Structure 1
Amino acid sequence: MTALTQLSQAIHDAPRWHQEDQFQNPQEIKIVPLAGEALGAAVFGLDAKKAQSGETILRLKQALAEHLILIFKQQSIDDFQYLAFASYFGSIFRPSSDTPVLATQSDTGTPPDVVPVSNAVGQGDYTGYGELAPHADHQWTPLPSFGSLLYAIELPKDGGQTSWYNTIKAYDALDDETKQHLDTLQLITYNPFVRFQSNKGAPKDGGYGTFPKYRFKDQPVIGHAYPHPLVRTHPESGRKALWLNTHNEVELVNYDDQAGSELIAKLRDHILKPEFHYEHHWEQGDIVFWDNQATLHSRRPFPADQRRLLKRISLAGGRPY
């Protein structure tokens, strides 16, 4: 018999429903919106090690579509249990080998199912210790991930907080004339990992380094270009969201260079307004699950000599529309 993949092994080993001590009672789970915040809800009473009912998963999916991030408190799980839990919500994100992303492996051309987001574990460290600007994961791919889960295992004493930005609220706050104009536009987000390769590697602190935030037409194209709507429609709620990061190199399709650069700069400033923002102060055992289709996320820097280890699982998405 052939060896199982990591995901197959995780589901193979997952708790069976007939084992009552491993089945989660849906009545134990409470979902509490974050008071006064632009997005987010905390989930109490859920044990990610246990088998979950259809009622629970449907409820969590509906809560994610409404609140955009869910914070599961006080978890203690291994990689297989983490994968089994994440796979309730969708397929694991696996980009093609011609599209590098965070943690792409040299032998396979794809990332592992569970990615260390760390400065602490030696070989395989990713993202370093520096500030990470607001971004959506895998935005430069043909089929960006729909969401990600991040599990806190080791945390620094200082810094390292993660922020999320509600790009549905950012879109809703625009005037009608601006919305009508933006609804007709497509945006290309260029792959930062191709740029890193051309510059012989990413910065050691894990930041984005210095490369253009907008590509003018007289500049070379680095990597493949996948146009997506500047305003995307959420596939479950039908709400519209700005589909734009704040620092990666982008280009509006069939648009004047100077006007495009100015428009994107204005929208980036708009997204960063405090009323669209929530900052999460991590506690060990937190799992944060966010909707990548309608949020951006960023990270505060932390001291290089302090350990930080979180693990990320990303879930497959469809073509933005």
Structure 2
Amino acid sequence: MSHPLHIEPLALNIGALISGVDLREPLPAEQVAAIRQALIQWKVIFFRDQPLSHEQHIGFARQFGELTVGHPVFGSVEGYPEVYSVSKTRFGKRFEGPKLIRPWTGWHTDVTAAINPPAASILRGVTIPPFGGDTQWTNLEAAYDALSPTLRGFLETLRGEHRFTAPEGMAGKREFHDKVAARELVSLHPLVRVHPESGRRSLYVSPGFLKRIDGLTPRESEQLLALLFEHVIQPEFTVRFKWSEGAIAFWDNRSTAHLAPRELTELNHDRQLYRITLVGDIPVGVNGLHSEVLAGEPVLAYAAAQG
């Protein structure tokens, strides 16, 4: 009989630290179920002091679903096709010239440009700077609940276009642009998504990928998106995590958005993390409002992608 997990909430609406488990070994069924339930309840869960190898990271993730290729556009770690390297320098110097920074710049939900965005992501800290480099997450279900009933009802009828593009202000990165062009991903998703396990509704907006609202004029779309993007990153919906070597962050990609640290290029310290994502389903909105692929293929499990 396994010991019960200790789950410590970190913020009112999102985030919990789980202890009392060794992720290097296969978990008993009751611990897998408890971790899955904590993930759905707290949206992002954290573990510390888990020095996993790539193989152990893959083994832990497989207990919760099928694994995608590391990244559908940027590839994977050599020899480990399910693992994506999240390094400080993976894009080099991202910006040249003045940066266009809005309050929501950098916030995103992973790969929502795909018709079936990943269900969850599992990020492992390996090389951690002594300060800085924190990651933040926001609860999109709490953000939806905080809207007026009138606005919620209107948003439930709408879909948004999610497109994989180069970040604003990025220049001189031909290799980056070539990879994006070779793996075009564009999808229409409901602005309000119904969680396939909990049945709860979330404001399914990903500032990094959501470019326009279908059926609105450009100006209407621009203004409504600005309102929604600013709304979902309000502090009361968020949690901030300070990384340590061996820390794990496991988040529900169906109900959260997150922000990678913007100050990394200014830090004189290395930062290396590794990410695995779980195959997701096609989002479904209220009253059966469906997603629609405009360009690209679904993000498949690694084995299926090879077949």
SS at match of 2:186: coil
* Paired residue secondary structure (1:187): strand
Q: Rate the CA distance shift 1:127–1:267 in 2: closer, same or farther, 3 A.
A: farther
Residue aligning to 1:39: 14
Is 1:119–1:129's contact at 8 Å kept on the other side of the alignment? Answer: no
Rounded Cα–Cα distance in structure 1 between residues aligned with 2:37 and 2:217: 40
Trace 1:304-315 onto structure 2 (pairs within 5 A): 304-315=267-278
- Measured against aligned partners, the alpha-carbon deviations of 1:167-212 in whole angstroms (never above 9, x if no partner) come to 1000000000000000000111111259979962459xxxxxxxxx
Distance apart, 1:157 and its partner CA: 2.2
Q: Does 1:178 align with 2:139?
A: no
| Sequence identity (%) | 29
Q: How does 1:187-266 map to 2 (within 5 A)?
A: 187-192=160-165, 200-202=174-176, 223-248=184-209, 250-266=211-227
Corresponding residue number in structure 2 for 1:30: 6
Cα pair 1:116 1:126 within 8 Å, conserved: no
In structure 1, the residue matched to 2:109 is: 136
Q: Secondary structure at the match of 1:226?
A: strand
Aligned: 1:114 with 2:83 = yes
Count of aligned residue pairs for this structure pair: 267
Larger gyration radius, structure 1 or structure 2: 1
In 2, distance between residues paired with 1:304 and 1:113?
A: 29
Cα distance in structure 1, aligned partners of 2:68 and 2:7: 26
Partner of 2:39: 64
Cα distance in 1 for partners of 2:191, 2:55 equals 36
Deviating more after overlay: 253-262 vs 283-292:
253-262
Structure 1: which 5+ residue stretches go unaligned?
1-24, 204-221
Q: CA deviation at 1:246?
A: 2.2
1:27 partner SS: coil
Superimposed CA distance per residue, residues 134-176 of structure 1 (whole angstroms, 9 cap, x where no aligned partner):
1000100111001101111111123111000111000000000
Q: Give the Cα separation in 1 of the matches to 2:107 and 2:212.
A: 17
SS of residue matched to 1:251:
strand
Q: Taking structure 1 as reference, are residues 128 and 138 closer, same or farther at Cα in structure 2, changes over 3 Å only? A: farther
1:145 to 118, 139, 142: 118
State whether structure 2 residue 135 is matched by structure 1 residue 162: yes
C-alpha change, 1:289 and 1:94, in structure 2 (3 Å) is: same
* Aligned counterparts of 1:88 and 1:201: Cα–Cα separation in 2: 35
- 2:195–2:255 Cα contact (<8 Å) kept: yes
Query: How do 1:76-91 and structure 2 match up within 5 A?
Result: 76-91=51-66
Question: TM-score w.r.t. structure 1 length?
Answer: 0.76
Which among 70, 75, 95 is matched to residue 50 of structure 2?
75
In 1, the alpha carbon distance for the partners of 2:29 and 2:210 equals: 41
Query: Which residue pairs with 1:53 in the alignment?
Result: 28
Cα gap change, 1:320 to 1:41, in 2 (>3 Å): same
Distance in 2 (alpha carbons) for counterparts of 1:94 and 1:309: 19
CA distance in 1, matches of 2:257, 2:93: 19
Q: Which amino acid aligns with 1:144?
A: P
Normalised to the residue count of structure 2, the TM-score between the two structures is 0.79
Shift of 1:54: 0.9
SS of corresponding position for 1:297: strand
Q: Which moved more, 1:25-34 or 1:231-240?
A: 25-34
Q: Is the 8 A contact 1:129 1:304 kept in 2?
A: no
| Structure 2: gaps (5+ residues) | 96-100, 178-182, 285-307
Give the ranges of 4+ consecutive aligned residues of structure 1 lying more than 3 Å apart after TM superposition.
Answer: 125-132, 193-199
